[in-house]
Amino acid sequence: MEKIVQILGKTYYGDVRFESGNVLSIGKNKVEENINTASSIGLCIRVFSDNKWYYLGFNEIDEEKILDETKRLVRRVGNKPSKLLMQDPWEIEKEMKVKKKPEDISIDEKIKTVRNTFGRLMKNKTIVNASAVLAHANNETLFMNTEGSDLRQVLPFFRFSMSAIAKEGKRIEYDYFLLQKQGGYELFTSLDLDQEINNVVNSSIELLKAKVLRGGVHDIIVDPDVSGVIAHESFGHGCEADQVLRDRSYLARLLGKKIISELVSLHDNSSLTGERGYFLFDDEGIKSSDTVIVKNGVLNHFLHDRQSAIFMNSNVTGNARAQDFSRKVFVRMSNTYIEPGDWKHDELVEDTDKGFYLIKALTGMEDPLGGNLQLVTHKVREIKNGELGQLYKGVGISGKVLEFLSNVDAVTDDFDMRGSGCGKGHEDYVPVSSGGPYMRVRKAIIG
Amino acid sequence: MKEFILKELGKNAEEYEVYLQKTEVNEIHLQKNKINFIDKTIDSGYGIRVHENGMGFSSSNIFSPLVIRQTIKNALKSSEMTQKVEFSFPSKQPSKEVENIDKKIKDKGDEAVREYANQILSSIPKDVLVSFGKIRTYDSHIEIINSEGLDLTREETNFMLELSIIIEKNGKKVEFWPHQYRRRIDDLPVSNLEEWIKMARDQLVAVQPRTEATTVIFSPTSVLDGLGSVIDPHSTGSAKINEISKFSPEDRIASDSLTIISDGLYPYGLMTSEFDDEGIPQRKNILIERGVFKDYIYDQFYAIKDGTKSTGNGLRQGDTFFVFDGKYGGMPVNMTSNFYVKPGNKTLEQLIEEVKHGILVDHFSWLIPDGTTGDFSSEIRVGYYIENGVLNKPIKGGLVAGNIFDMVKNISGISNQSVITSGGSVLAGVCPHIRFENVQVAGK
């Protein structure tokens, strides 16, 4: 990498990033049992010249070929004047510590755990199939650039998921549990597995009786999962400063203005240790940080990479991320959430005469220019006279996100985060998490 | 390195398969009507399946002898430790020639991408902003070798285009955001820009729909995402054996007019190839014929489980996004090839003329029905009211919601042209416009 940086030294800016990863995944359903392993490496070389990015990507580490290609690229693009935020060089070398290394648990024990979980999910006769998956990975990133930074991070990833499929006649319903965080085996051992298995099984069976809700305008309460997807998909993608620079953000001219309910404050915090979007430095060598995007309803800050930061006269926020060595670095979110408020959950439900209580987000999609909401929930409960009642199947939420979040009139003191993957559009997946409290929203379009 | 992998495997395993892939990716990004990113990446890797007891799998993109040996060891260990399954790798069978290669991409992918980018840039009207764009080619070389003597090679190309087309008028900004894949660049001609710009312009005057149950026409892309996401998970041998299929052979599940084929041979279809991703010839398999479910499709694993033969439907794809360059990282999955919906006998214009009041949805934000239950709810990004047989005011916003299993029983018309398309949830389709009755719309 030193040799590459030396060649890149003749350009306006250049960096090199080496990634390596190992993953083990153990899964079981009624028919298949799999233990899958994978290893990967990749090298990404970036040069900035004439305000354009030039990339080279390799997974076969042939030193001579890589150095030749790098020299050829540097000769071709030269050192043309450009605008890019520069920073002082820094160094870090850190592996995130875990309490219990998954690698120290034998595969035998892990497969027993998966089989046992599967067996317990299948105990009820209404459950026709189920799945249990346990996976862990270690991802190492080395980064050097022409500023002189020299960085290394190793991040552990742990995933445990289960689902149960209930069937009655031709009707099929399911529910699932998903844990995805940075950490070790302690994430599994600290779970109340009995409780989680019961929740998944009972919910799948209960959904067989769920009714279909007719769409319309209603008062709703959204759970932390749905709050998080609204924070990330509906609101957050418009805060990515590359979208602002492209004239493709509904928030472009709203910095410093009150745009939503003062009860809502929203963060993107890549330094939130243990969450799925946690890291020490981003893919441009910038340190992770907590960015307060919205403070009490006022748009406070966008998320930046080096290019957007200099064009918009801002500080960098450490949000430059790529799916892997073969993909472009974009401005991306990390751990995005809405701050908890003062209300107690039960008081909020009791205070709501009539409405719907939306549970678990299944999918969500961005609309950075239009600021429209598009997300689908898994379940809905009717709220009648301050009590939760009839179960309905999931619904979609539509409308303008600024109007939707302006109609928030209560935020609870609960808080939960969920790990997932985020695409920029339909591709370029990076690990993220999102979350928040329960929120009540007046006059929401659901259906 | 292929020889080394095979030699090492031969020493350690009796039943095995190697899937090797090397892909050159060329890419240009646009930003505000200019090129701002140029990339060339070569990605290669291998996936190894071993059947000693259970089915073992391991993959890597590292070609050092040490890692190859470790990858084989991992696959063997995985096979030893998982539950015993009856399985045999397929031997070579005669296959049909297919068309799935773009010579332009094979010859010079980087030049083809640059030429396409320049054509786009020179075709943008003054009042239109291509805020962002991705233009990408894939040129792949794939080999499948197994212990049954199968040794196959295939070439394939793919092309991807994503554009954010923005128009501003009187302070109002609107966007149309096409994102499509094809085998050949010329199957997504730059002349499409005209139609996409029209869709963006129409949104300047779009209204939110009102809440009602009405007639709705889906575009080919919406048909692919809507029906493909739900019909596929219930039509496979995997779904049958796992007891999660709602279908049984000869069940009437849809209107008479609906015929769906898993067509692995459709010229330049995105899933078209001589053989599937475990080396079995692809073919045409009828899933639904005139509204009746005919039979399941199989990969090798589920075919053996069900005492039948594979239908060439063992394909490698990602869980959450479409994969062309890293297929070696996953095992074959029992899935539909090109989702072909047989055209009907009316033109799109006739389908519209017959509607007194309804909606044509050209694009949803992301139509991703629940594959298990068939439920969906999706926001309209580009739509039009139909009034007295004529396309009327554009629509944006609001939700179309329902259940795909119910909707396919309420088809009142299918257009007479099925076109190659790709969706946001399902990769490969050849679909027409379909008109559904009594669909729930939630809006104002």
CA torsion A212-A214-A215-A221 (nearest 10°) is -60
Read off the tokens for B416: 């007479």
Tell me, yes or no, if A389 comes closer than 8 A to chain B by beta carbon. Answer: no
Q: For residue range A25-46, list pLDDT tens digits in order.
A: 999 999 999 999 999 999 999 9
- Tell me what the mean pLDDT of segment A341-360 comes to: 98
Does residue B67 sit at the A interface (CB-CB below 8 Å)? Answer: yes
A interface mutation test: which of B55, B212, B399, B444 has the most A CBs within 10 A? Answer: B399
Give me the interface pTM, i.e. the ipTM: 0.91
pLDDT average, residue stretch A361-368:
91
Whether chain B has a CB inside 8 Å of the CB on A33: the answer is: yes
Verify whether the Cβ–Cβ distance B61 to A41 is below 8 Å.
Answer: yes
Cβ of residue B176 closer than 8 Å to a chain A Cβ: no
Bridge partners for A372 per DSSP: A400
Give the three-state DSSP class for B253.
coil
Tell me the pLDDT tens digit for each residue of A179-200: 999 999 999 999 999 999 999 9
Average pLDDT rounded to a whole number, residues A256-263: 98
Contact map slice: B 299-318 vs A, CB within 8 A: 301-302, 305
CB-CB neighbors (< 8 A) of B78 in chain A: 34-37
* Least confident piece of the model among A49-58, A122-131, B66-75: A49-58
Q: Using an 8 Å CB-CB cutoff, list chain B residues near A394.
A: 370, 375, 377
What angle do the packed helices A193-207 and A107-121 form, to 10 degrees? 40
Task: Nearest chain A residue to B374 by CA: give it.
Answer: A172
Is A238 at the interface with chain B, CB within 8 A? no
Over residues A212-240, the mean pLDDT reads 95
**Cβ-contact A89, A78 below 8 angstroms:** no
Interface A-B, measured as beta-carbon pairs within 8 A, has a size of 234
Q: pLDDT per residue over A383-427, tens digit each?
A: 999 999 999 999 999 899 999 999 999 999 999 999 999 998 888
- B166 vs A40, A248, A362: nearest CB: A248
Per-residue CA distances from A52 to A303, A318, B130 (Å)? 20, 20, 17
- Greatest alpha-carbon pair distance for chain B in Å reads 73
Residue A277 has pLDDT above 70, yes or no: yes
Is B187 within 8 Å of chain A by CB?
A: no
Task: Give the 3-state secondary structure of residue B69.
Answer: helix
CA distance B347 to chain A (A): 31
What pLDDT does B340 receive? 98
A71 interfacial to chain B (CB closer than 8 Å)? no
Mean pLDDT computed over B53-64: 96
* Partners of residue B246 in chain A, C-beta under 8 Å: 170, 172
Average pLDDT over residues A370-391: 95
Confidence band of A381 (pLDDT split at 50, 70, 90): very high
Residues of chain A with C-beta less than 8 angstroms from the C-beta of B177: 425
Whether the pLDDT of residue B320 is over 70: the answer is no
pLDDT of res. B325: 84
User: What would the mean pLDDT of B116-120 be, rounded to a whole number?
Assistant: 97
b/e per residue A177-188 (b: at least 16 CB within 10 A): bebbbbbbbebb
Mean pLDDT (whole number) for B305-322: 89
**C-alpha distance across the termini of chain A, in Å:** 54
- Residue B180 banded pLDDT, cuts 50, 70, 90: very high
Residue B333, CA atoms < 13 Å, CB-side half-sphere: 14
- Asked if the model's pLDDT at residue B210 lies above 70, the reply is yes
Q: What is the pLDDT of residue A374?
A: 87
pLDDT band at B319 (very low <50, low <70, confident <90, very high): low
Q: What is the pTM of this model?
A: 0.94
What is the spatial distance between Cα B389 and Cα B413, in angstroms, rounded to a whole number? Answer: 14
Can you tell me the mean pLDDT for A77-84?
92
Which chain B residue has its CA at the smallest distance from A77's CA?
A: B38
Q: What is the pLDDT of residue B111?
A: 96
Average pLDDT, chain A: 96
Q: What is the pLDDT of residues B249-258, one digit of tens each?
A: 999 999 999 9
Residue among A30, A53, A325 whose CB faces B36 most closely: A53
pLDDT at A2: 94
* pLDDT value, residue B323: 81
Give the one of A369, A396, A446 whose C-beta lies nearest to B166's C-beta: A369
CA distance A291 to chain B (A): 25
B440 pLDDT exceeds 90?
yes
For A339-361, what is the mean pLDDT?
98
| pLDDT above 90: residue B423 | yes
Residue of B nearest to A363 (CA): B368
pLDDT the model gives residue B126: 94
Residues of B numbered 68-87 whose beta carbons fall under 8 angstroms of chain A's beta carbons: which are they? Answer: 70-71, 74-75, 77-78, 81-83
The per-residue DSSP string of A224-243 comes to HHHHHHIIIIIIGGGGBHHH
Q: Is beta strand A33-49 parallel, antiparallel or unpaired with respect to A52-58?
A: antiparallel
